[in-house]
Amino acid sequence: MKVTAKGSGRISIAGLTCYRPGQRSRLIYRAMIHKGRKGEKKGFREPDFADLLDA
pLDDT for the residue 20: 93
Q: Could you tell me which residues come within 8 angstroms of residue 47 by beta carbon, excluding any fewer than 6 positions away?
A: none
Q: What phi and psi, each to the nearest 5 degrees, are found at residue 3?
A: -125, 130
Nearest CA among 26, 27, 32 for reference residue 44: 32
- What are the structural domain ranges in the chain? 10-54
pLDDT for the residue 25: 95
Per-residue pLDDT 10s for the chain (55 aa) are 676 666 677 888 999 999 999 999 999 898 888 887 888 877 888 888 888 888 6
pLDDT for the residue 12: 87
